[in-house]
Amino acid sequence: MDTLTLNNGVPMPALGFSVFQNPPAETQAAVETALAAGYRHLVAAAAYFSEPQVGAAIAASAVPRAELFLQTSLWISDYGYDRTLHGFDKSARKLGVDHIDLVLLHQPLPTAFDRTREAYRALETLLAEGRVRAIGVSNFTPDTLDALLDTATVVPAVNQIEVHPYFRQPDTQKAGAERGIVTQAWSPIGGVTFYPGWAGSTNHSSVLADPVIGAIAAAHDRTPAQVMLRWHLQQGRSAIPKSADPARIRENLDIFDFVLTAAELNAIDALDTGVRGGPDPALITLDTFKGEIPEA
C-alpha cells in the first residue's frame, strides 16, 4: 500500500475505503470485506449516519487498531468550539475508539464562517490533546482556505474535495499543494457523474464509459475504475472509493502493480469539463443543509 506523509509527519495510506452512500445496514459487512481485502484506511463521516457500523466492523476485525488509519468528518450542525468538541465525542463513541487518526470539517459555512473558524479551533485543541493525529477540511476552495488560515494556528493536513477526470479542480489542488495540504479525492472514479440530472450529463456519459479511459484501461488490461484510481495516486492524491460490492471492493485495491505513462496521465487530465457534480460549497448553509447528528 502506498502512503502519503502529511504535513505533520503522520503517514496515511494513499488509498482509503469510504462508506459514503452505503446504507447503514450494509456498512458493517462492506467494511469487514474491505479490511479482509487489505484496506487499512477507513473513511467515515458523522453525516453518513453509519459510524456505529464502522465501529462494529473494526471491533469484529482481527486487524489491530494500531494498523488502521481511521478518518471521519464533523457535520456543520456541530460547528462552534464547544459543539465541535462534543461532535468529536459523539463520533469517537460511535466508532468505539479513544482517538481518531484524521478529523475533517465536512464543509465550510460561508455565511457563518466564524462558526467554521471556531470548529477548526476545536480541532486544533483535539490535536494538541493527542485525541487526533491530524486535522483537515473538506470541500474548501482557495478563498475559504485563505479565510481559515487567517486565524488558524495549524495548517490543515488534508482537503477532501470532489476530484475525478471530468472535474479536477486544479486551482484548489494547487492552493493546497502550496500550503503542504494533501488533496483527498471524493468521487474519485466519478460516481457523482452517475447521478440522474448531473450538470454535465448533456455532454458526457458516465466517466466510467469514457472512451479515452476505456482505451487506457484496455492497454493495461485493467478496468476504467482501476485506471482512474491509479491516476489519482500517481499525481500524489489520496483517493477514497466507495462500494458495497465485494468484488468491486477488492478490484479497487488492485492498482499497485501497473503504471500509467505521462501521455496517459495527460490524456485523462484533458477530460476536465470544469463542471461540478456535487453541491457548490459556496451555497452550503444551515438552512439548506439541515440535519442534526444524533447522540451516540
Q: Which residues are catalytic?
A: 48
Residue 214 host element (H or E):
helix 211-220
| Identity of residue 180 | G
- Could you tell me how far CA 131 lies from the centroid of its own chain? 20
Sign of the Cα torsion 48, 50, 52, 54 reads negative
* DSSP character at residue 7: T
Among 16, 88, 15, which residue's Cα sits nearest to residue 46?
A: 88
Residue-level length of the chain: 296
- Contact between 106 and 115 under an 8 Å Cβ cutoff? The reply is no
Residue 51 host element (H or E):
helix 51-60
- Could you tell me how far CA 231 lies from the centroid of its own chain? 16
- Contact between 135 and 157 under an 8 Å Cβ cutoff? The reply is yes
Cα separations in angstroms, 193 against 100, 131, 249, 261: 31, 36, 19, 25
